[in-house]
Every structure is written in C-alpha cells, then in structure tokens.
Structure 1
Amino acid sequence: MLAMEFRGPYRVRAKHKSDPQIEHPNDAIIRVTRSCICGSDLHLYHGLVPDTHVGTTFGHEFTGVVEQVGQSVQNLKVGDHVLVPFNIFCGSCYFCQKELYSNCHNVNSQATAVGAIYGYSHTAGGYDGGQAEFVRVPMADVGPTVIPKDLHVEDAVLLTDAFPTGYQAAEMGDIKEGDTVVVFGAGPVGIFAAKSAWLLGAGRVIVVDHVEYRLEFVRNYAQCEVVNFKEVDDMAVHIKKMTDGLGADVCIDCVGCEAVGNAMQTLTGRYMKLQGGAATVLHWAINSVRKAGTVSIVGVYGPTFNAIPIGNAVNKGLTLRMNQASVKRHLPRLIEHIQAGRISPREIITHRIPLEEVADAYHMFSSKLDNCIKTVLIPPGA
C-alpha cells in the first residue's frame, strides 16, 4: 500500500509499505477514504514528541471502508463506511465506563499518563495511523462509528478529532449563558472551539492568533472578534481592557507546545527542549481570565515540565480543566448539530491533496502557505 512515512524532523515521504494484517480477533482493516493532517501532527513533524520512530505512519483523523474484520468483531461488517475516533480504547475499563475514552487503561503499554492514539509515536502506543491506503483498527467493536447516510464524508472525517476536540475545549470551559470566551489559536481546533462556544451559550467570543488569514477565516466562520497578538503589548492587560477590567470568563488554550509570542519560552521550549513546549498561551490564559474563571486546555504539551504561573491560578481561584477529547462521547450531539444545519465542519477544509503528495502537503501546512487552514489527504482511488 501507499503510505506516509516519517524519516526524521521535517522529512516525510509517500512510500509503498506492507499492507496491514489482522493481528487480533477484534481487529478490522480499513480502506481509507479520507485522512487529515492535524496541527498535532506538526509536533511530530517538527521533532517535538519523544519516541517518534523513523518509519512511522502518522494520521489520527481518518474515515474508511471496512475491508476485513477479525473473527470476534460483531458490530462492523465488510463494506461499512466508518469514521474512526483518534482515541484507541477498549470500552470496558474503569475510564471507558466513565466515557473517558482518551484515558483508556488497557491500550497503551508504553505509558500510564497517555492513552493510545493512531499514528502518534510510541509514547502514544506505537500504532500506525491513517495517512495511508489501509490501516489496522484495533478494538474495532467499540471505536469506529458507521457514517450516517446523510452525512458528507468530509464532515465525518472532521468528527474524528478536530470538531470534537474544539467542542470539548468549549465544554470544559463550563460556559454559562452570556459568558465572554477567549480562544487562543485560530487553527482548526480553535475555530471549532469558537464555534462551539456559541452552541454552548457564550455571549461574546474572541479569538487570538497572529496569522492574518486565519484570523479573517475564523472571524467569518465563527462570527467572532479577533485579536492579533503581534499588535498587543501585554495580552492580559489587553483582554482586561476589552472586558471592563475583569478578564474573560473562560480562556481556552488551543495552541499547545509550539506557541509563539514569548522569546524565552520559544527558546527553552521549542528549540532547546528544556521544557515540554513553549507555555506562552498558558501564561496568557491564566493571566487573562477573571478571578474564579475557568481555563480549558486542549493544546498538546510534552511529558516534561513547563514553567507556568500556578501561584496566579491559585490566588485567583481558577478552575483548570484539560484532557484529550473523548471523541465517541460527543458524536451523537455533534452529528445532530451537523444534520440540523447549525455547523458545516467541512467548510474549514481549504486543501484536498493526493496522498502521493504528502511531503508537499506537510510543508504547506507547517509553513502556513497558500492560506491553508485544513488539509485533507485523498488516497489513490478513494
């Protein structure tokens, strides 16, 4: 099969690899119809995620048609067109029973803090991902969801991660009717977090970024206010001036370890790798939210420490909430929103690129060329 292959930081290519095989009775083999490049994939691409092996195939956002099932699989059949959540989970452990699928206890022998994720290094289980013609899907009875007949495949592929992650980011903010919500990051997850804030009752939504075309896109797509942080001297002061001196009710970090805007954080977190990333946005969020407000974190950070102003959070009485999105839990509600016409996720897709050109696709997305917001890879014959 043709698949994306990681060769080292900033080096990926399309290569023919062996087709995946059924390894366990509860596996399925999926013929991929759509896969995405996620902003989180760029952390791998840039060499910031530990234990990312040469030869790995990335891709945790994909849809596909069931080609083969193991003998224990009962809920899928050959020919089903499914969306596959980025979390790999067993469905029966303590955490899965609480619908905390991203925290499944049984699928990642490599670490206790990280669940299992397709195509996201051996730190996240070492499973190959879906930027390929075929992918092995373990725990096939509990993860994949059959795509409703009236749902467009490109809406479905955005239900595997980006939309649910943005929605959970807003949900963890515990937004009350009329709240002012500040979203840091105007990438796909930030865009969906802003849109979801309205769905959850926000009265005002502000998105912060520094890339003008992304700010223009989110302004139009999510009907929100925008701030270019390059034009701001002090982010916390600026947000407080916009909110009668109080600060935002909710701040959401949709950026993570590759944040820019603070030279020291960038040097120690992104280049010297002395921290688990550049925690610039965590500083902004903690310092910009009002007293007794909520900070929601879905940006990806490394497993090592980050120097953050925890004293400020304590003294302000903040609530901090964070996790990887438990995609499966959100799917019924989000599919309903799409079917009701409240949101069209596929409108954020700006580029559809053949899998054969995956190296160019990564370069374009990473370098923010050609006004790229979201890239979808299309395998041969899909």
Structure 2
Amino acid sequence: MKALVWHGRNDVRIDNVPDPAITDTNDIILKVTSTAICGSDLHILDGMVPTMEKGDILGHEFMGEVVAAGKNVRKFRPGDRVVVPFTIACGHCEYCNDTLYSLCDNSNPNPEMARANLGHSVSGIFGYSHMLGGFDGGQAEYVRVPYADVGPVKVPESLSDDQSLFLSDIFPTGYMAAENADINRGDTVAVWGCGPVGQLAIQSAWMLGAARVIAIDNVPERLSLAKNYSLAETINTTDRDDVYEELMEMTNGKGPDCCIDAVGAEAHGDTMVGKAIDKTKEILQLPMSRPYVLQQMIMGCKKAGTVSIPGVYIGMVNEIPFGAAMNKALTFRMGQTHVQRYLQPLLKKIEEGLIDPGFIITHRMKLEDAPQAYEIFKKKKDNCIKVVLTP
C-alpha cells in the first residue's frame, strides 16, 4: 500500500509499504477514506518530536471502512464506516475507568521510553513517535486499529466524511479546551491561535455559554474565518506589538476570564527579541518549545482566571512568568484529549445540526500529494487552514 513516511526533519515521502495485518484479536483493519494533516504533525516535520524513526507512517486524524476484524471485536464488522480517536486506550485501566483515556496505562507498548521523556507513560497515539507507541498512522491506504471496541465510533450514513472526520481529534480537542477553560455563562474567553483547533475551540466556547470570544492570530484568513464564521472579536498580532494592552482595552482592564492556548510549541514571538530568538533556533535547528503564547496568556488573564492548554508542547519551555501565575492565583488545565469521552456527545451535536466541523476545510488533495500538502499547510500558502487527503 501507499503511505506517508517520515525520513527525517522536513523530509516526508509517499512510499510503498507492507499492508497492515491483524496482530491481536481486538484489532480492526481500516480502509482509509479520509485523513487530515494536523498542526501537531508539523512538530514532527520540524524535528521537534523525539524518538521518531525513519520509516514511521504519519497521521492521527483519519476515518474509513472496516475491511477486517479480529475475532474478539464486538462493535464492528466489515463494511462499517468508523472514525478513530487519535489516542489509543485499553478501556479498563484506572485512567480509562475515570474517562481519562489519553492517560491510559496499557495502550503504549513502549512505557519506559515514555517515562524517560515524560516522567510517566501515557496512551499510545497513532503516527506520533515511538515513545507514544510506534503505531503506524492513518495517512495511508490502510491502517491497523487496536482496542477497536474501545476507540472508534460508527458513523451514520447521513453524515459525510467532511462532517465526521474531525471527531478523530480537533473537534474533541477544541471542545475539551473550552471545557477545561471552565467557562461560566457570560464569560469573556480569549483564544490564541485561529487554526483548526482554535476555530473549534471558539465554536465550543459559544456552546458552553461564553458572552464574548476574542480570537488572536497573525494570519489574515484565519482571523477572517474566526470573525465572519465564528463571530469572534479579533486581534491581529501583526498590527499590535502588545497583545496585553489590547486585551486590557477590550476588557476595561480586567482581562479575559478564560484563556485558551490553541498554538502550542511553535508559537512565534511578537517582538523584535522574540523574532530574533525564533530565527536563531531555526538556524541552529534547536527543537525547543516557544513560550510566547503562554507569556501573553499568563500576563493577560484576569486574576483567579483559568488557562486552558490544548496546544502541544514538547520538552522544556523557558521564560514562563510563573511568579505572575502564582500571585494572580491562575488555574491551569491541560492535556492530550480524552477523545473517547466526547465522541458520542459531539457526534450528536453534528447530527442535530448544531455544528458542521467541515467548515474549516480549505484544501482537498490526494494522498500521493501529501508531501506537497505538508508544504502548503506549514507555510500557509494559498490561504490554507486545513487539508484533507483522500487515498
């Protein structure tokens, strides 16, 4: 089969690789019908994720048709359309029993590798390094899905792939980000990053009762989508050197009640110093997480406010104003998404017409064009916000 394969930093290629096979009685094999490029895939492309190996198949946002099932699989049979959570969970450990699926104790076959990098093992993730299991990803024609009765959800025929695909990651991620922000009815919510997760976090903030949503970015087409589709107020960081001052003006000096970081490790500085630091890291190929959004959130959030972090960070993050966070009594909530917890409730919202997550798709391309798609997405060419690939 054809699959997108990692060969090194900024080097991904379509290769012919062996077809996946059932290796456990709880596996299914999926013929992929739609798969997407996630912003966190760019962390892999940029060499920020440790324990990647040449030959790894990428991709953790995918759905498709079941073509084979292990003998112990009860939920699915060949022919079913399913969407698959990016986090892999066993369904019966302490964390799964508490619906904290991304912290599963059993789904990562490389726990020692994870502990060396993270302190503890967390759940396996498709296509996202060997410390997170070394599982083949779904940017491929076929993929093996373990723990099938725990993860995937059947998609009704009434819903298209475009409507369903983002249940795999970014819709639950945006929703959990808003939930973690502890939004009360009438709150002002600030969202840093108007990419796909940010857009869905904005939509979710409205669902949870926000009175105002302020979207912060420097990419015109993302800001336009946030303003015109999601009805958010916007701050363009290209026009403003100081996000803090703008937020203070917009909130009468109080600051947002809740702040969401939908950017993560590859935020760019909005000052001369920040831009110089970014350039130096790029020249030296230093895979360090950048703190600029965290700095802005901590300084701008109201006293006793909540900071929600769905954006992915890898390794160390320096220059965090921790004193401000402590003295302002901020609450931090973060983590990889417990996707399985949200699948049925969010699927219901889509079926009821409360949201169509497909609004973020700007580019549809063939799987064989995936290297070009990564280039377009990374460099935000052609007003690109989200790419969906079809094998």
What TM-score, normalized to structure 1? 0.96
1:297 corresponds in structure 2 to 309
Q: Following superposition of structure 1 onto structure 2, how do residues 151-230 of structure 1 map, counting pairs within 5 Å?
A: 151-230=159-238
SS at match of 1:55: coil
Match for residue 260 of structure 1? 268
2:117 corresponding residue in structure 1: none
Q: 1:274/1:373 Cα in 2 relative to 1: closer, same or farther (>3 Å)?
A: closer
Structure 2: gaps of 5 or more residues: 115-119
Shift of the alpha carbon at 1:267? 5.2
Gaps of 5+ in 1: none
Provide the rounded CA distance (Å) in 2 between the counterparts of 1:269 and 1:124: 25
Residues 105 and 344 (structure 1), Cα distance of their counterparts in 2 relative to 1, 3 Å cut? same
Question: How far did residue 304 of structure 1 move?
Answer: 3.0
For residue 368 of structure 1, the aligned residue among 375, 380, 384 is 380
Offset at residue 305 of structure 1 (A): 4.3
Contact preservation (8 Å) 1:257, 1:270:
no
Structure 1 runs, 4 residues or longer, greater than 6 Å off = none
Aligned residues: 379
Q: RMSD over aligned Cα, in angstroms?
A: 1.5
Q: 1: distance between equivalents of 2:170 and 2:159?
A: 16
Amino acid in the other structure paired with 1:202? A
Q: 2:130 aligns with which of 106, 115, 122?
A: 122
Secondary structure, counterpart of 1:353 in structure 2? strand
Displacement of 1:113: 4.5
Deviation string 1:296-344 (CA, Å, 9 cap, x unpaired) is 0011111334331111111001110001111111122212221222211
**Cα distance in 2, alignment partners of residues 306 and 23 from structure 1:** 42
Letter in 1 for 2:168: T
Q: Structure 1 residue 55 and structure 2 residue 44: aligned?
A: no
**Cα pair 1:3 1:131 within 8 Å, conserved:** yes
- The residue number in structure 2 matching 1:134 is 142
Question: What is aligned with 1:359?
Answer: 371
In structure 2, what is the Cα distance between the partners aligned to 1:274 and 1:346? 35
Give how far 1:238 is off. Answer: 1.7
Q: Is the 8 A contact 2:105 2:121 kept in 1?
A: no
Q: What is the CA–CA distance in structure 2 between the aligned matches of 1:275 and 1:346, rounded to whole Å?
A: 32
Aligned to 1:104: 104
Partner of 1:14: 14
Instruction: Quote the Cα distance in structure 2 between the aligned partners of 1:38 and 1:271.
Output: 24
SS of alignment partner, residue 43 of structure 1:
helix
8 Å CA contact retained: 1:268, 1:278 = no
Change (3 A) 1:123 1:74: same
- Match of 1:312? 324
Which of 230, 234, 259 is the equivalent residue of 1:251?
Answer: 259
Rounded to whole Å, the distance in 2 between the matches of 1:83 and 1:289 is 36
Aligned partner of 1:285 in structure 2 is: 297
Give 1:272 shift.
4.9
Distance 1:268 1:295, change over 3 A: farther
TM-score, structure 2 as length reference: 0.94
Compute the displacement of 1:276 (Å). Answer: 4.1
Report deviation, 1:277: 0.4
Of 27-36 and 330-339, more deviation after overlay is shown by 330-339
Q: Secondary structure of 2:327's match?
A: helix
1:347 has 2:359 as partner? yes
**Contact residue 275 and residue 304 of structure 1 kept, 8 A:** no
Check whether the contact 1:48–1:270 (CA below 8 A) recurs between aligned residues. no
The whole-number CA distance in structure 2 between the counterparts of 1:339 and 1:283 is 39
- Report % sequence identity: 49
Shift of 1:251: 0.5
Work out whether residues 57 and 129 of structure 1, in 8 Å CA contact, stay in contact via their aligned partners in 2: yes
Once the 2 structures are TM-superposed, how far is the Cα of residue 274 of structure 1 from its aligned partner? Answer: 6.2
